Structures are given as C-alpha cells and as structure tokens.
Structure 1
Amino acid sequence: MSDRRTLQRITSSFIVSATCVLALLYYGRGVLQPLVLAAILSLVIAPLIRSFNRVGLKALPATLLSVLLVGSCLVAVSVILATQLVSVTRDLPQYRAAIKSKVEKVREITEKPFARLEAELTALTPPSADAKSRQGLSAAAARTQPIPVEIRQPGLSTRQAVAWMFAVAWGPLGEAGLVLVLLVFILLEHESLRDRVVQLAGQTEVSRTLKTLGDAAQGVSRFFFSQFIVNLTFGTVVAVVLWGLGVPHAALWGALSGMLRFVPYLGVMAAGAFIALFVAAIDPGWTLPLVCMAVFVALELAVANIIEPKVYGHSSGLSPLGVIVSAIFWGALWGPVGLLLSTPLTLCLVVAGRHLPALEPITILFGDAPSVSGSQRFYQRVLAADLDSIIHDARQFLRKCSFARYCDQILLPGLALATAERRSGRIEEIQQARLRGAIVALAETLAPVCDSGPRNRRRQVSLLDANVGAHLRKMREERLGRWQGSLDVPAHSVVLCAGLANERDDVLAELLVRSLRAARIDARSLSMGGGDQETPDGKEDLVSTVFLVYPLEEHYEQWLGHVRDLRANLAHALLVTVRLPFDENAVKLSSVEKQMDMILRSYEEALAFVTPERSPRGQPLPEQIGRAA
C-alpha cells in the first residue's frame, strides 16, 4: 500500500514542480551555491561550537573561535600544499630526461606498430599514374610555397603577470569570502533560523520538522567526521608508503590523496593518476610506478570495502548507487562545487524524505537500504523463486536470534502477506507452490528434525500440494515414529501443539513445533478432528502444556469443542494459545481468554513460557492475559 501511494504522488503536477525546481537550481546556482555551502559547513562546525559552549564560552566567542580554528587549519594546509607544489615545479627540470625517455617508449609502443603496418601496406600497393602525377604536382608546389611567417605576442611584464594572477584568483577568493561571511551569520543565527523554519512549517508539523532538522544535522555531521578520519588515515598511510619507496614529496601526494577522497569516486581516481604520472616521470624504469600503483589500489580497495563499511556503517544514509548518481546530478548542475557537496545534499534530501511524503521517492531510490521489511523481502523473493537468498538471509538472522523469532518477524508476517494476496486472487498457483516449497525448505534447513532411526526418503508430494503443515508433520513422523518421538520420557516433559485439521492451523502448529524443538524442547503436534489419536493410552501425564492455534470466527465452535475434550483428557496440562498480531477474522480476545490458561503474543513468548530459564535477553515472561482454569 505504501508503494502504491508513493506512485500515486508522482503525477503531472509533481513532474512540473520538479522541473521548476531543477531549473531554479541550475539558473540560480550563482546565489544558491554560497548559501548551500555555508549551510553545510555550519552543520559541520556546529558540534565544535557546542563543545565550546559546554566549556563556558558564549555563542559569539565560540562561533568566532570555531571559524578561526577551522580557517587556520585550512590556510595552514593550503600553505603547505602550495610550498610542496612550488618545490615540485622547481625539481621538474631534473626529471626532464626521464620524461623524454618515457614519452619515447610510449610512442614506440603505440605509434610505431601502426606506422610500420601502414608502410607495409603502402609497399604492397603500387602507386597509380594519377597518384604519381599528384605527387609530382605536390613536390613542385612545395618548392614554390612561400615561407610561413609566425607572429608572436610579446611576453608579459611583471605587472601584467601579477594582474593576470589576481584576476584569476579574484573569483575563488571572492566566493570564499562570501561563504565565510554567510557561515558566520548562519552560525550566529542558528537557533533563530531553526525557529523560523518551524514557524514556516506550521504548528501542526512542529514534531516532524524538528525531527527532520535534527536527523539531517546529525547525519551530515557524523558523515563528515567519519569521512575526515578515514581520509586523514588514508592520506597518512599513502604518504608513509611513498616515503618508504623513496618517492620525493611524499607528504604532498599523501595530502592530495586524502583531500581528493572527499570527491566521491572520481577524486581517488584523480589522485592515483597524479601519483602514477609523477612517479613515472621521475623514475627511468617501470618497476617503481607499477609498485606504487599496486600499493595505492590495494589501499583503496581495503579502505573502501573493509574500513569504510565498519567506520561509516549507515552513517552516510546513502546506497553506493545513490552516491554515484548524486555525484553525477549535482556535478552536472553546479560543477566542482556540486560534486563536492553531492553526498551531504542528497543525504539531507534522503533524511527529509523519511518525514515528508513529497520527498519519499528520493529516500526509496537513494537510501542506504530499501524501505521494505524482512517479511516483505521474504515474500518478494518467494515470488521470484529466489530460494537461495531466502535461506542465506535466514541463516544470517539465526546467527543472532532464534528460529522462533525468525517466525515471528519474517516467516509468519510473510505468510500473512501471501494469505492476503491469495484472498484477493493476485497470486498464481505456481507462486503458491513456490511458497509451500519455501516453507518446507526453511523448516528442514533451519530447524531440522533429529533422526531416531532409519530415514524414509519418500516425499509425499501430493500431501505437500494440499497441506504443507501436514506434509511437515508427516515427514517428522517418518523419521521419529508414530508418536513423533519416544514415549519413554519423564512426566510433564512433552509439549503438544494442536490445531484444527486445515492448512492454516497445521502450518502454524508445525512451525511452532519446529521453533520449540530447535531449542531442544520435546514438542509434538496433533491435528484435532483430523483422525489423529491425540494421546496414547495411559500416557496423559507426559504432557505438560498444550499450545492451541488461535481460532478464527468461522471455526470457533469446532475449536471450542476440541478444547473441552482436551480439558477432559489432559486435566493436568496447561492450555495456552498464541494470538498473532496479523491474524485476520480472529475471535475476540474476551471469548478465548475464558477457555485458556494463558494467551501469548508470539512464538518467542511461547518458547520463553516452556523454558523460563532461557527467556530472551533475560526478560520476564509476559503477564497472564487469560484466567487460570
């Protein structure tokens, strides 16, 4: 339903509005770029200001000190990089011979094979008479061709050179000054701007607006801090490795690598290209360039695939594809500034989409994880016949949780989705067969039954097609015997899971049996009204608890009759039922609680009920909802 509402919002008016916004972003970039850059920087510096406020500084001194501190660091880094660059340009004449040698080798590898091939083809084809005449005319024209005259502009004077450099630097310096002024005022008016945004949103949206602003500020700050730590470490390691390999100006290339990694994907590629070209220019051979590139690529792969996922986690809030698409989009709109700000800008939009319906498509497309639950993902993969992925995800889930919790959170809600689709006629027979097969595969793989004798490998295919729960119970009986286990067990050690003789009750009862047996509980099942013998003669005292499937309205009278029989035959056993939250057409709680000793709310609570010492996370058992018999 949520996906349908999202698609319904993408109408013609939405497309027109989006087009107008894109036009405003493109044609108004001269005004919007400094504002957005200052706003993003304010989110980055805000935690530092709050730290100074906790020390005792007031707003104005804390803001000015924070801006001064950050600006001083940037200026210091810029001076160091400029000094290193000047040193590199001064040393370039020393590497001129190596550069010429490399250029000749590259030309020999790339151009000479084609030139040799062209010469051989020309030699094989004799020139025609027309070609000879044209060659004679061209030779005569070359002899009579006038000497070309080249007009050169005089070199720039010192004053002209300084003026040219000032004109080139004026644009970036002026924009940097404008951003600095805006940054200071935004930081000083931070609280006031938040109040204004809340007032614009209206009093009815105060909670949502504050939540959106808080999430966006926290996400951007956490992302930039994590990225700064990772890039600083990466640049330091690159500098140390290059220094160890004897590459000059290793500090410059390390700093350049760390800084360019702030540009998504393209930055690290540019840094690697610069390092490769410089090392190839200074070294007469090819060994050192290849070693440096191999080390650089290995470091980048380790950082991108091992370190960043652990450090970032989901702090970026964006999927890898979302990062690439946002870099392309903002880079096309705003150039280098947009490329640098692509990740934080898209992150703010993704966070806002979690609270604002109009931006929800952006969150769905570019968020760090698809906005589907585990049960929805299970059901979608069942329909796609992707059983391997279902079992892989289930095993990952069971590394931390029990099979009972897997049933509560994924399997049973997924079956509820399938039931709703089946009632509406939107699921085909072949998809229903896939669902039954997935249930059997999950039960057999994740909660297998231990053998107590020779295994009968016959499969009741027709029974599976008719009733998957009865099929699973039949498989256990083939392995464990008629009574699904030995009768020579202590008194009050057996747990029965009972339901009516229909597909729903059989599946729910069998999954509960598997959940309990996975925790080494002697659980067995029976189908009431299906011809099963409920308990063997004289063994009634073995049963301690009977879990009954919660009844539906149309089966309540039949269910009530079996409850009376159980009360008469198993007088010493507790009667418990599990009322699942997604059961439709279920009987009212007030009617069922009169018949039960306890009503639970999940399979995990059922597991905790029969094994109180294994209660999940040490939580107490749920309070009794029904009355004692």
Structure 2
Amino acid sequence: MTAADSGESLGAERQSFSREVVSQRKSPMYRVAVWLLALALLYTLYFAKSLLMPLVVALLFTLLLSPLVAVLKRLYVPRTLSAILMICAIGGPFTILAIELAEPAQKWARQLPELSERMTAQLDNLTESSQSVPVQTANQEAESEGFSFFGLFEGKKKQPAPQPVIQSSSDAAETVSKRVKQGGMELMVAILAATPVVIAQLLTCVILILFLLIFGPRLFNAYIHIFVPPDAREDRVNLVGTIQLELSRYIGTVSVINAGLGMTTGLALWLFGVEDALLWGVLVGLLNFAPYVGPIFGMAMLCLAGLAQYGPVALAALPVLIYFSINLLEAQFVTPLVLGKNMRLNPLILIIWLFIWGWLWGAVGVLIAVPLLVCIKLAAGKLPTADRWVRLIETRA
C-alpha cells in the first residue's frame, strides 16, 4: 500500500469517526445524559458550596495575580516572596478599610431594630387616623334584605343576627410592629451567626491563593507534560495564558471603575452631609461588581439611610438621587467606553446567570458571577466547537 492510499484510508476513518460522534450527539440518550450531567453539576455546586466557594474564588484571584507574579519572577524575585507581597498589597488596604468601617457597621447593626421600631410607630400613627369599619358577614347582608335561598319556600324568617366583626386598626398595627421588630432581630442574629463561617472561608481562600501562586505553575507544567499530547501542549499553554491576561485586564479595569464609583459616591454624600458616607461608598463600589442587581440593592440601602437620617420627608431621597446620577453616568458612558466590545455580554443572559449564581452561592455567587462568565467566554472563544455559544453570549441587546 502506498503513502497516498494510507492517507486516504486514514482520512476516511476520521470522517467515519466524526459521523459516528455526530450521530451519537443527535441520539435521545445522549441528550438525556447531558441534562442529567447538568442537573448533577447544579446539585454539586449547591450542596458543596462551603467547599467549592473558597476554591473558585481562590482560582479567580490566582488567575488575576499570576501575571504579576510572573513579572516579578523575571526580575529574580522568588515566587514565594512575590506571592506574599501580592497578598499583602491587596489584603493590607482592605484590612485597614475594614477596621475603619467596623464602628459604623456595628452602629447600623444596632440601629436596625430601632429604625424598624421608629418606622412602625410612624405606621401606627397613619393607621390610627383611619376609622375602624365594621365588617359584616355575607349572610347578615343577605338576610337584612330578606333574600335567602331557603326563604323562597319557608318565608322570611329572621335568624339571630351574628355579631359584627370589628377589626381594630391598632391591633393590626401592633401585629405589623411585632413582625418588623422580629425581622430586625432575626437579621442581626443571622449576621452574627454567619460571621465565624465568613472568617473561616476568608482565611481558607487566602491560604489557597498563596499555595496556588507558589506551587500552581509547577503543577500545571507537570500536568501538561504528563497528560497532554505533545502536539496540543502549546495550545493549552497559550489558552491558559490568554485567559490569565484577559481576566486580569478585565478584573483590574472593573475594579478601578468600581473603586472610582465608590469614592465619587462617598465624596458626594459627604459633601451633602450624609452620615457614614465612607461606608455607603464602599458598599456601592462592591455591589457594582454585580450588574443590574447591585445598583438596585445600593439604592435600597441609601433609601434606608436617608429615612434614618432625615425621616419620611422629601430630603430622604437625596442619597438615592446622588447615587443614581453617578451610577447612571458610569453605566452609560464610562464602562462601555473603557471596556469596549471585547467584554460584551447579552443583558438577558447576564441577569439569568446572576440569578443562578445568587441562588447557588448567595452574595458571593452574585459577586463572582460576571468574572466567571467572562472566564468561560474567553476559554470557549479558543475552542472551535464552542464558537456558536460565544456568539450567543455576545448578542447585542
């Protein structure tokens, strides 16, 4: 057999194999298996979130910091020292900021029941001004008019009138007051109970980031040489390098934008005399990592802050208006201009993705949902079989 014949036979075998793969993908059993695998993945992500959440966050931060550690490595800085320096450079300012915000955060945690009680008292004053209206039953109304189904045959026979049911507005307001107070106390208890778990997960995440930055590249190189065929090694290395570079660029740019939004909002609130302006600026900057959902929660918090400081007057809307104006400028002009079309994501897919990760992992899932989607999109863009999914994600609004 000649070389040409062997090449033709090899091409025929590859075509037949590809046809078999396509036919298997079109079979009903293959689709059922895919759906079962997706459900199993969701089940695992939901019930193993205490284990997977720090790992995923650590992987994202490792992808973000790996290019910087590699640059320091080229400058003959040991990887261990550079990893510690990177963690200190990021964790130091956040630690100082957390110490500064501890007192106003504790103050607001104490004020939540008082604020709910004050709002309930104002609700009581509004409800007490209305008159209590007696509520009559349907039988009493029908009998007072002389119409009864059995009265057609038995005549108009008066029955003893039931007592009118009078619902007091003060009782209803008292019930609402108890429920609001109970909700505020339950929120405080939930926050205090979740604090040790959050601290433990934070320490776990920091340790994982440190070990991934120090030992991760050598382990990745060993995986490439052991498991990946020689002809595909360069593509895998280039894929990981591209994801690291693009993700670092994206997260760095978004972090700078959100930090600018938080500082601008905090400064504007401070200039207009809003209490705890630094706390609100930091919170709106963090919430802005979750598009659409974060600004809504930010406006709700600032509405609560305005009511707490000014009471139920028109001036209470001042913090919300300040934040809304700054956020509108950032969302419509700054972010599209800086990021461009390379990080374009369809709004419907993005909001569904946010809801899914919010249901799976709560607030942490909402914050990491967009970087995770960008990472998946970058990886899928390098695969020829996933090109259609990338075009779907990038569909214009």
Same fold (TM over 0.5): yes
Instruction: Report how far residue 229 of structure 1 moved.
Output: 0.8
Please name the residue that 1:540 is paired with.
none
Please name the residue that 1:560 is paired with.
none
Q: Is the CA contact (8 Å cut-off) linking 1:321 and 1:366 kept in structure 2? A: no
Higher relative contact order (CA 8 A, sep 6+): 2
The aligned length equals 334
Q: Deviations over 1:554-590 (max 9, x none)?
A: xxxxxxxxxxxxxxxxxxxxxxxxxxxxxxxxxxxxx
> Are residues 1:211 and 2:238 paired?
yes
Please name the residue that 1:225 is paired with.
252
Q: Is the CA contact (8 Å cut-off) linking 1:243 and 1:250 kept in structure 2? A: yes
Alignment of 1:422-501 (within 5 A): none
Instruction: Report how far residue 213 of structure 1 moved.
Output: 1.3
The verdict on how the C-alpha distance between 1:98 and 1:25 changes in structure 2, with shifts beyond 3 A counting, is closer
Please name the residue that 2:213 is paired with.
187
The verdict on how the C-alpha distance between 1:192 and 1:50 changes in structure 2, with shifts beyond 3 A counting, is closer
Please name the residue that 1:348 is paired with.
375
Q: Is the CA contact (8 Å cut-off) linking 1:350 and 1:359 kept in structure 2? A: no
Any unmatched runs of 5+ in structure 2? 1-18, 145-157, 167-188
Please name the residue that 2:56 is paired with.
36
Q: Which moved more, 1:7-16 or 1:169-178?
A: 7-16
Q: Deviations over 1:77-123 (max 9, x none)?
A: 22222222124456779979974675457x55xx978x77x66999x
Q: Is the CA contact (8 Å cut-off) linking 2:309 and 2:316 kept in structure 1? A: no
The verdict on how the C-alpha distance between 1:278 and 1:8 changes in structure 2, with shifts beyond 3 A counting, is farther
> Are residues 1:288 and 2:308 paired?
no
Please name the residue that 1:171 is paired with.
197
Please name the residue that 1:26 is paired with.
43
Q: Is the CA contact (8 Å cut-off) linking 2:274 and 2:319 kept in structure 1? A: no
Looking at structure 1, the residues matched to 357 and 392 of structure 2 have their Cα atoms a distance apart, in angstroms, of: 16
Residue 135 of structure 1: SS of its match in structure 2? coil
Measured on the aligned residues, the alpha-carbon RMSD in Å equals 3.8
Q: Is the CA contact (8 Å cut-off) linking 1:219 and 1:317 kept in structure 2? A: no
Q: Is the CA contact (8 Å cut-off) linking 2:269 and 2:322 kept in structure 1? A: no
Q: Which amino acid aligns with 2:96?
A: A
Instruction: Report how far residue 166 of structure 1 moved.
Output: 8.0
Q: Is the CA contact (8 Å cut-off) linking 1:330 and 1:339 kept in structure 2? A: yes
Instruction: Report how far residue 190 of structure 1 moved.
Output: 3.1
Q: Is the CA contact (8 Å cut-off) linking 1:353 and 1:360 kept in structure 2? A: yes
Q: Is the CA contact (8 Å cut-off) linking 1:353 and 1:363 kept in structure 2? A: yes
The verdict on how the C-alpha distance between 1:135 and 1:366 changes in structure 2, with shifts beyond 3 A counting, is same
Residue 274 of structure 2: SS of its match in structure 1? coil
> Are residues 1:309 and 2:326 paired?
no
Please name the residue that 2:163 is paired with.
135
Looking at structure 1, the residues matched to 228 and 386 of structure 2 have their Cα atoms a distance apart, in angstroms, of: 15
Instruction: Report how far residue 275 of structure 1 moved.
Output: 0.7
Q: Is the CA contact (8 Å cut-off) linking 2:287 and 2:367 kept in structure 1? A: no
Q: Deviations over 1:468-518 (max 9, x none)?
A: xxxxxxxxxxxxxxxxxxxxxxxxxxxxxxxxxxxxxxxxxxxxxxxxxxx
The verdict on how the C-alpha distance between 1:204 and 1:15 changes in structure 2, with shifts beyond 3 A counting, is farther
Looking at structure 1, the residues matched to 298 and 191 of structure 2 have their Cα atoms a distance apart, in angstroms, of: 25
Q: Is the CA contact (8 Å cut-off) linking 2:66 and 2:213 kept in structure 1? A: yes
The verdict on how the C-alpha distance between 1:127 and 1:242 changes in structure 2, with shifts beyond 3 A counting, is farther
Looking at structure 2, the residues matched to 17 and 98 of structure 1 have their Cα atoms a distance apart, in angstroms, of: 54
Please name the residue that 2:181 is paired with.
none
Residue 77 of structure 2: SS of its match in structure 1? coil
Q: Is the CA contact (8 Å cut-off) linking 2:306 and 2:317 kept in structure 1? A: no
Looking at structure 2, the residues matched to 364 and 327 of structure 1 have their Cα atoms a distance apart, in angstroms, of: 19
Looking at structure 2, the residues matched to 369 and 285 of structure 1 have their Cα atoms a distance apart, in angstroms, of: 41
> Are residues 1:17 and 2:34 paired?
yes
Instruction: Report how far residue 368 of structure 1 moved.
Output: 6.2
Looking at structure 1, the residues matched to 395 and 241 of structure 2 have their Cα atoms a distance apart, in angstroms, of: 18
Alignment of 1:314-333 (within 5 A): 314-333=341-360
Instruction: Report how far residue 127 of structure 1 moved.
Output: 8.2
The verdict on how the C-alpha distance between 1:239 and 1:104 changes in structure 2, with shifts beyond 3 A counting, is farther
Please name the residue that 2:102 is paired with.
82
Instruction: Report how far residue 276 of structure 1 moved.
Output: 0.5
Looking at structure 2, the residues matched to 94 and 21 of structure 1 have their Cα atoms a distance apart, in angstroms, of: 46
Q: Is the CA contact (8 Å cut-off) linking 2:67 and 2:245 kept in structure 1? A: no
Alignment of 1:591-602 (within 5 A): none
Instruction: Report how far residue 167 of structure 1 moved.
Output: 5.9
Please name the residue that 2:290 is paired with.
263
Instruction: Report how far residue 364 of structure 1 moved.
Output: 2.6
Instruction: Report how far residue 302 of structure 1 moved.
Output: 1.2
The verdict on how the C-alpha distance between 1:127 and 1:38 changes in structure 2, with shifts beyond 3 A counting, is same
Please name the residue that 2:87 is paired with.
67
The verdict on how the C-alpha distance between 1:196 and 1:332 changes in structure 2, with shifts beyond 3 A counting, is farther
Looking at structure 2, the residues matched to 126 and 264 of structure 1 have their Cα atoms a distance apart, in angstroms, of: 55
Instruction: Report how far residue 254 of structure 1 moved.
Output: 0.9
Q: What TM-score do the two structures reach when normalised by structure 2? A: 0.71
Instruction: Report how far residue 57 of structure 1 moved.
Output: 1.7
The verdict on how the C-alpha distance between 1:8 and 1:274 changes in structure 2, with shifts beyond 3 A counting, is farther
**Identity percentage over the alignment?**
23
Instruction: Report how far residue 256 of structure 1 moved.
Output: 1.0
Q: What TM-score do the two structures reach when normalised by structure 1? A: 0.47
Any unmatched runs of 5+ in structure 1? 140-162, 371-629
Q: Which amino acid aligns with 1:61?
A: L
Q: Which amino acid aligns with 2:203?
A: G
